[in-house]
Amino acid sequence: MKGYLARRFLLTIPTLFGLTVLIFGAMRVLPGGGLGAFVVDDMVSQQLTDVQIQAIKRELGLDRPLYIQYYTWMRDVFDGSFGYSQSRGGEPIKDLILSRGVISAEIGILSVLLSWVIGLPVGMLSAIKPNSIWDKLASTTTVLFLALPNFWLGLLIVLAWVVFWGYHPPFVGVNPWVDPVANFKIIIGPILVMSTSMAAVIARMARSSLFEVLRQDYVKTAKSKGLAERVVIARHVLPNALLPVLTISGVMLGFVMGGSVAVEVAFTTPGLGRSIVLATIERDMNVVQSLVLLYGMIFILVNLIIDLLYSVLDPRIRMS
């Protein structure tokens, strides 16, 4: 077990290194030469003299060799500041993450939990009673929610709330320990939208996995011994059938925690997903590259945790 854990942790090191290099290189080839928020459009850049542009580059450290710029960024990442925002008057990006990351984390975790609460029972009933009316209704509903784009569904909900309940989009984030009611009003919309589409994925994956496991010989043997169906499902079917569901849940949690950009923009939610959109519009290179790196780190960490849980649920994996 310890050897497996060591191998998995070691594999994340080159993955993270490659991610940082890819993000750093991508940000340096964007239009604007890395001047970011100091040069918003071509008209402004044309009004600046060469001396002014060189002064801005020296202030941002863009006149240094690329390996020095990369080292500076990594130093800021490792000391926890993640650098400084160009469009926010030199505000540490750490403050932006701390102020808005809680809301994004709430949305991601609660969306996945709610998708399990909705999707797993639907998938189980569909697998236990195949080709029934319930199975056909569940299949139709899941396909419908899979086909609906999240941002479109979010816009419809916002429009309905505005027309019927006088909803006002939030512009300032509120943490749950400050005002739980205001925080709930901010996160409930994105959670409902994302959990419906994820619940559809969970339901289809659970149905497929459970249906396959139910046809295995050891399940038939357990039933032939006179065990009740609920006991067979709880002891023999679910532990094996939930492994693929756990995997897809980890992937979805990684994407959601990494920034539900479209949904947060649709609801004007003050989370990290909307922050990266605003930073992109403002061409704040430091914020964009640091938040993208944070998203990537979250995705890698979540998948690492899922791999470790997989090894706990299925000992054959850690023995390979």
Q: What is the pLDDT of residues 177-227, one digit of tens each?
A: 888 888 888 888 888 888 888 888 888 888 888 888 877 777 777 777 777
Q: How far is CA 291 from the centre of its chain?
A: 12
Confidence of residue 44 (pLDDT cuts 50, 70, 90): very low
Does the pLDDT at position 45 exceed 50? Answer: no
Residue 154's nearest CA partner among 167, 141, 142, 143 is 167
Look at residue 182 in the predicted model and tell me its pLDDT.
81
Does the pLDDT at position 125 exceed 60? Answer: yes
Give the separation between CA 23 and CA 13, rounded to whole angstroms.
Answer: 16
Please say whether the beta carbons of 123 and 205 come within 8 A: yes
Contacts 24+ apart (CB under 8 A), 132-140: 135/207, 138/203, 138/207, 139/204
The residue type found at 262 is: A
Does the pLDDT at position 139 exceed 60? Answer: yes
Confidence of residue 83 (pLDDT cuts 50, 70, 90): confident
Confidence of residue 317 (pLDDT cuts 50, 70, 90): low
Give the separation between CA 24 and CA 65, rounded to whole angstroms.
Answer: 13
The residue extents of the domains of the chain are 19-78, 93-318
Does the pLDDT at position 105 exceed 60? Answer: yes
Does the pLDDT at position 42 exceed 60? Answer: no
From 47-61, 105-119, 175-189, 272-286, the region with the lowest mean pLDDT:
47-61
* Mean pLDDT of the region 42-71: 68
Look at residue 258 in the predicted model and tell me its pLDDT.
56
Could you tell me which residues come within 8 angstroms of residue 297 by beta carbon, excluding any fewer than 6 positions away? 16, 19
Percent of the chain clearing pLDDT 90 (strictly above): 0
Domain 93-318: state its class. mainly alpha
* Mean pLDDT of the region 61-70: 79
Percent of the chain clearing pLDDT 70 (strictly above): 78
Does the pLDDT at position 40 exceed 60? Answer: no
Look at residue 35 in the predicted model and tell me its pLDDT.
57
Confidence of residue 30 (pLDDT cuts 50, 70, 90): low
Q: Which residue has the higher pLDDT, 265 or 105?
A: 105
Give the separation between CA 117 and CA 48, rounded to whole angstroms.
Answer: 57
* Mean pLDDT of the region 144-172: 71
From 139-153, 206-220, 302-316, the region with the lowest mean pLDDT:
302-316
User: pLDDT averaged over the chain?
Assistant: 77
